[in-house]
């Protein structure tokens, strides 16, 4: 449970972690060109999230991010 908690808010952006897992699992099952398309789509969704804005702001302000899972 302690290991799993480090991938959940407020420590990590949980939706992004889930999308990374989805990209890896789905990408391994299809052709390379299709896996790149899946990765692009999921990456676009990640950068549109509130957690992405928080992560970038935290990085620029040199502080630890506080993620909500949105």
Q: What is the pLDDT of residue 5?
A: 79
- Measured CA to CA in angstroms, residue 3 lies from 6, 7, 8, 11, 51 at distances of 6, 8, 10, 12, 21
Q: What is the mean pLDDT of residues 3-28?
A: 83
User: What pLDDT, in 10s, does the model give residues 33-56?
Assistant: 999 999 999 999 888 988 889 999
Q: What is the mean pLDDT of residues 64-68?
A: 86
Q: What is the pLDDT of residue 65?
A: 87
Does residue 13 register a pLDDT over 90? no
Q: Tell me the C-alpha distance between 63 and 61, whole Å.
A: 6
Please report, for the chain, the start and end positions of each structural domain, with discontinuous segments joined by +.
2-60
Q: Tell me the C-alpha distance between 5 and 19, whole Å.
A: 17
């Amino acid at each position: 449970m302690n290991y799993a908690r480090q991938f959940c808010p407020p420590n990590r952006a949980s939706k992004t972690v889930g999308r990374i897992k989805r990209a890896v699992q789905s990408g391994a099952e299809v052709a390379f060109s299709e896996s790149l398309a899946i990765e692009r789509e999921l990456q676009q969704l990640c950068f549109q999230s509130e957690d992405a804005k928080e992560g970038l702001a935290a990085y620029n302000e040199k502080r630890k991010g506080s993620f909500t899972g949105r």
